Amino acid sequence: MADQSSHDPVTGTETTGHDWDGITELNTPLPRWWLWTLYLTIVWGVGYSIAYPAWPMIQGATTGFLGYSTRAEVAAEITRVDEQNAEVAAMLASAELANLPRDHPAYQFGVSGGAAIFRANCSQCHGAGAAGAVGYPNLLDDAWLWGGAIDEIEYTVRHGIRNEQDPDAHWSQMPAFGELLSDEEIEFTTEFILALSGQEHDATLAAEGDVLYAENCSSCHGELGLGDPTVGAPNLADAIWLYGGDRETIKYSITNARFGVMPAWGLRLSEEDVKAVTIYVHQLGGGQ
Amino acid sequence: MSEAMSTSLYAAREPIFPKDVKGTFRRLKWAIMAVTLGIYYLTPWIRWDRGPDLPSQAVLVDLANRRFYFFWIEIWPHEFYFVAGLLIMAGVGLFLFTSALGRVWCGYTCPQTVWTDLFLWVERKIDGDRNNQIRLLKSSWTFKKTRLRLTKWSIWLVIAVATGGAWVFYFADAPTLFNDLVTLQAAPIAYSTVAVLTATTFVFGGFMREQVCIYMCPWPRIQGAMMDDDTLTVAYRDWRGEPRGKVKRDQAPSLLGDCIDCKACVNVCPVGIDIRDGQQMECISCALCIDACDDIMAKIGKPRGLVDYLALSDEGREREGKEPLPAWRHIFRLRTMIYTAAWGLCGLTLLYALFIRPAIDITVAPVRNPQFVTLSDGAIRNAYDIRLRNKHGEARPFEFNVIGDKSFVVRLEGVDGLQVMVPADETALQRVYVVAPKKSEPARAKRTELRFWVEDNVSGERTYQDSLFNGKGAE
C-alpha cells in the first residue's frame, strides 16, 4: 500500500502516501506542540504514579515517594479541628450547665456536638429522633423519671440507671407485686390506676383498689399518682406511659415490676461530651 | 512503515508577524480593548457601601461566605438561578451576534484576542513592525537581539502578572489582598492562582496566539451552525477583485479585477490566513484586513470595500452590478428575531425575579421523627425547624405567627415570646413548637393545615410558608 507522498489533485493537500485501491489519505498535520503536550502528559502520569499511591500490589498499593495518604489527611484535619475547638471545649467542660447562657459559644458547641454524640451513643435505645420506644423513655416530652432540669439530666447521663459500675447510679426499687398481692388485688389496683390517669375503668373495682394503692404504691408514686422524680417513680396520672397504659400492660407491670437500665456515660465519655449531650437532650423540647 | 513516510504528520508553528495597520476597525478595536481591559483591571477596586457588617467591594465573589455581590445586588446560593440565567443570556447573545455579524466576539472582545493584540502592540514598540520582526527572528543572538527579547518578555510578564493578579481581587477585598500579596502574607491559593493565570497569559498572548483559536478553542467549530448566507462577515468580493494581478504598463487594466495582489490583507492578518481564499475556520473576523485593503484601494483610486463586512447572499446582486441590500435587511430576519426574543424574555424574567424577591425569607422543615409528641396532659405537640433569612445589612427582629386552628399554642425553643433576632445578612435556625390541647380538633385529626407567618418588625415586611400539623389520627 505504501507509496510516495504526493498531492491530492482536487484540494492540493499533501497526502500521506497511503493508497488503498486508489483512495489516498490527506495529510493535515497536527501542530507539533500538541504532540509534545501528549508526551508531557505521559511523563506527568508516570511521575504522578511514582510520587503518589498508585500501583496495586498483592497487599495494599505502592505508597508513593511523597508519602501522601487520604487517611492521614483526614486525621490531620480532625486534629486541626480539635485544636480549633480546644478552647470552647474546655469552656464547656468547666461550665455549670444551669448557668450557661444559650447564646454562649460553649452552649452552641454543646448542641452541635451533643447531636453527634447522641446519634452515636444514645440513638440505639432512645431513637434517632429521641422519641424513645416501649421501655425506653421519650426525651422530647415533658415527663421525666429522674427530673428534666438540666442538672438532673446531666446526673442521669453521667451516672446511668441501675448501673453497678457506678455507685452513684439511679436505682429505682419496685417490688414485683405478683409475689405480694393476689391476682384479684392486682386487678383492683389496675382499675384504680386506670381511674387515676382518667381512662375507662370499672368504678366498683377501682374503689376496692384505692385502699390497696394507698398501702402499697402511694409511698413512691404519691397519693394522687403524680410520681416522684427523686426516686424515679413515674407519674401514673398523666398521658405518658413508658411500657404502655392499657389494662393488660399495667397489670403486667404491677405483677412483675419493670427495671430499665442505662450505662453510666461519665465512665465512657469525656467531661465535655457528657455536658454536650446533656445540653442537646435538654433543648429537644422537654427540658425544664 | 515504509520509507515513503516522507511527510511529517506534525507541523511546527509558522511564526506570524501581523503588520501594523490604521483605519476604522483598528480604531474601534483600540477603543474596545481600552474599555474591556479597563473593566477587567479596575472593577475590583470600585467601592460600595453596604453597612458595617458587609464587604464594601462593588463586585465580589465571596466564596467563603457563599455570597456574590454586584453593586446593589446580592446573590445567595439558593438564588443561583440568576447566574444560570445570565449564562443562558450570554449563550443566546452569542448566537444572536454570530448569526447577525459573524464572529464579532472572537474578533473584538475575546480575551485571547484582546491580550494578543496588547502583546502585539508591545512587540511592535520593542522590535519594530513586521519586517524588523522577521529580520530579528532570522538574526543570530547578538547583544541587541538579547536586549530586545529580554525587554519584550519583561513587559509581557508585567502585563501577565497584572492580569493574573487582577483575577484574584474579584474573590477577596482588593486593597487588603493587594497588601497581603505584596507583603507575602496572602494565602498560598492566591499565589498559585496568580501564577497559573500569569503563565497562561504570558504563553497564550506571547507565543501560542492563533494556535489557541485554531486548535484549543471549540468556538470556531461551532460557528458554522450559527452563520448563514445573510450573516454579515468579513469576506473578499472575489467577483470584484478577480482576476487579481498587478497592472502592467502594456496591459489593458480592464482585463483585471480590483485586487492588485499586494498582500496587504495577508500581512496584517493575526491568524496568518489569506481572506481571499474564502470563509475559513481560522478567521476570527478581526476586520483588520478590511482596514488594510481600504487603505490600498484609496491609494490606487478604487472604491473601498474589496474586503468588507458582507453577506454572501448579496453576491448575485453585486455580480449584476446592483447595490447590496442594506445591512438591516440582513440583520432583521426570523432567526435573529427569535434569538432576540429569547434573550429578551430571559432578561425580563430575571429582572422581574430580581425585583420581586423578598429581603426576608422563611423555610419550614417539619420534624418527622417523631411526627408528633404526646405531652403529659395529653396535648399533641409538633416541632418545626424554621430557617429565617435576613438579607438586610443589619440585624432584624422577626416575629412568628401561626394561622391554622384557634386551639394552637406556639412556643419557641429557648426563647421567651415569639420574636427572634436574625443577624445581618445571615440565616437563623429556630425550632418552633405548635401544641394542640388534648381532644382539640387538630390533636385528633390526622392532619391540619397551618401557615407560618414571619414579620420583620422594623420594615413590616411579611412572608409565610405553609405546613402541616400531625395529630393522633396519623398513628
pLDDT digits (tens, 9 = 90+) for A156-183: 999 999 999 999 999 988 999 999 999 9
CA-wise closest residue to B214 among B281, B130, B118, B133: B281
Give B117's DSSP letter.
H
- Judged by CB atoms closer than 8 Å, whether chains meet at A34 and B381 is answered as no
Per-residue cell: B399: 416575629
What confidence score (pLDDT) does residue B398 get?
Answer: 95
pLDDT digits (tens, 9 = 90+) for B105-153: 999 999 999 999 999 999 999 999 999 999 999 999 999 999 999 999 9
Per-residue cell: A40: 508531557
Kindly report the CA angle at B326 between B325 and B332, in degrees rounded to 5? 100
Q: In terms of CA atoms, which chain B residue is nearest residue A35?
A: B10
How does pLDDT run along chain B (475 residues), one tens digit per residue? 344 445 688 888 889 999 999 999 999 999 999 999 999 999 999 999 987 778 999 999 999 889 999 998 888 998 888 989 999 999 999 999 999 999 999 999 999 999 999 999 999 999 999 999 999 999 999 999 999 999 999 999 999 999 999 999 999 999 999 999 999 999 999 999 999 999 999 999 999 999 999 999 998 888 878 899 999 999 999 999 888 888 776 666 677 889 999 999 999 999 999 999 988 889 999 999 999 999 999 999 999 999 999 999 999 999 998 989 999 999 999 999 999 999 999 999 999 998 888 889 999 999 999 999 999 999 999 999 999 999 888 899 999 999 999 999 999 998 999 999 999 888 999 999 999 999 999 999 999 999 999 999 998 999 999 999 999 986 5
SS3 assignment, position B5: coil
Please give the model's pTM, rounded to 2 decimal places: 0.79
A251/chain B closest Cα distance in angstroms:
21
- Judged by CB atoms closer than 8 Å, whether chains meet at A285 and B438 is answered as no
Distances (CA, A) of B320 to A285, B240, B315: 89, 11, 9
**ipTM for the predicted complex:** 0.83
- Judged by CB atoms closer than 8 Å, whether chains meet at A142 and B375 is answered as yes
Interface of A with B (CB under 8 A): 2-5, 14, 16-17, 27, 29-35, 102, 127-129, 131, 138, 140-143, 235, 238-240, 283, 285
Least CB–CB distance from B376: residue in A31, A33, A240: A240
Distances (CA, A) of B420 to A168, A272, B453: 40, 28, 13
- Judged by CB atoms closer than 8 Å, whether chains meet at A239 and B438 is answered as yes
Residue B335 Ramachandran class (φ > 0 left, ψ -120 to 50 alpha, else beta) = alpha
- Judged by CB atoms closer than 8 Å, whether chains meet at B4 and A240 is answered as no
The CA distance from B315 to B229, in Å, is 10
Q: Which residues of A touch B438 (CB under 8 A)?
A: 239
B420/chain A closest Cα distance in angstroms:
12
CA-wise closest residue to B108 among B245, B370, B287: B287
Interface of B with A (CB under 8 A): 1-2, 4-13, 208, 211, 215, 367-370, 373-378, 381, 383, 413-414, 431, 433, 438
What spatial distance separates the first Cα and last Cα of chain A, rounded to whole Å? 93
Least CB–CB distance from A27: residue in B1, B7, B368: B7
The residue among B209, B373, B444, B470 with the most chain A CBs within 10 A of its CB, best to mutate, is B373
CB atoms within 10 A of CB B433: 18
Count of A–B CB contacts within 8 Å? 92
Kindly report the CA angle at B156 between B153 and B160, in degrees rounded to 5? 135
Query: Please, what sign has the CA dihedral across residues B119, B122, B127, B133?
Result: positive
What confidence score (pLDDT) does residue B391 get?
Answer: 87
B214/chain A closest Cα distance in angstroms:
10
A225/chain B closest Cα distance in angstroms:
13
The CA distance from A46 to A41, in Å, is 9
Question: CB-based contacts of B73: which residues, under 8 Å, 6+ apart?
Answer: B354
Q: Which residues of A touch B10 (CB under 8 A)?
A: 29-32, 34-35
Q: Which residues of A touch B370 (CB under 8 A)?
A: 127, 129, 131, 140
Least CB–CB distance from A29: residue in B2, B10, B438: B10
- Judged by CB atoms closer than 8 Å, whether chains meet at B2 and A2 is answered as yes
Residue with cell 480604531: B27
Q: In terms of CA atoms, which chain B residue is nearest residue A25?
A: B9
- Judged by CB atoms closer than 8 Å, whether chains meet at B6 and A5 is answered as yes
Q: In terms of CA atoms, which chain A residue is nearest residue B383?
A: A285
